[in-house]
Structure 1
Amino acid sequence: MTVQIPFTGRSRPPEACSFHRTELSQILNVYGRMVALGEWRDYAIDHLADRAVFSIFRHASERPVYRIEKTPRDARRQGVWAVVGMDGRILKRGHELRQVLRVLEKKLIRLVDD
């Protein structure tokens, strides 16, 4: 007996979106400085079919304080990168990761000045 697999029109299953090493380095640079100040304590990385998400936690048992999302399908419209707050609002969106991460660095500068 042979089992036939239905043809879906794709030769390979879609690959999950992921962060490149240089992108992850930039994100971890900001994350490391906030950990050193005692503001952030944990993170999680999710590679989904349509986007990659770097979630930042103040405590491991809480909801993420921030999410840095890479969504390639939005590249031509709003930009690949977005920083999303705890309440789901998009704090910054753009084509360049460095520019989008500035919204988090402003919070870093405020913490150092206090």
Structure 2
Amino acid sequence: MGIVTPFPADARGTGQVGFDRAELMRILDLYGRMVTAGHWRDYAIDMGRDAAIFSMFRRATERPEFRIEKRPALRNRQGIWALVGEAGQVIRRGHELGPVLAPVERRLMKLVD
């Protein structure tokens, strides 16, 4: 017959890093609220061997304002999650997604009289 090749054809067994459903729902919820508030207009998702990155843009032609990075290799060190700013500085690292997203969620809070 033929030769069956496993998909993806990766001899080392290192797969692609991605977001699970709960993580992506949390990130997209924040993104949707920021779009509604008028802060962001576009996003991009990059999934590679080392990291999965969700980037948020004010406009599609600019650099991302924030990047949420998931790097499983840093699980035992600084934490799997990182919030990276526009200039590439790491704003917050952590082992859980919620506290890492807190600086961005703070921008949505408004004082009410």
Q: Normalising TM by the smaller chain, what interval?
A: 0.7 to 0.9
Q: After TM superposition, list the pairs within 5 Å mapping 1:1-114 onto structure 2.
A: 11-109=11-109, 112-113=110-111
The size of the alignment, in residue pairs, is: 103
Aligned twin of 1:4: none
TM-score calculated relative to the size of structure 1: 0.85
CA deviation digits over 1:2-42, x for unaligned, max 9? xxxxxxxx844521100001000000111111100111000
Deviates more, 1:82-91 or 1:10-19: 10-19
Q: Which has the higher helix share?
A: 1
Q: Could you tell me the TM-score, scaled by structure 2's length?
A: 0.86
Distance, in Å, in 2 between the alignment partners of 1:62 and 1:113 is 30
Unaligned runs of 5+ in 1: 1-9
Q: Using the aligned pairs only, state the percent identity.
A: 50
Q: Which runs of 5+ in 2 are unaligned?
A: 1-9
Distance (whole Å) between structure 2 residues aligned to residue 20 and residue 29 of structure 1: 14
Please give the per-residue CA displacement for 1:63-83, whole angstroms capped at 9, x wherever unaligned. 100000000000010000000
Give the match's secondary structure for 1:67.
Answer: strand
Task: Note the C-alpha offset of 1:108.
Answer: 1.6
Taking the aligned partners of 2:107 and 2:92, their CA distance within structure 1 comes to 13
Runs of 4+ in 1 over 2 A off after TM superposition: 10-14
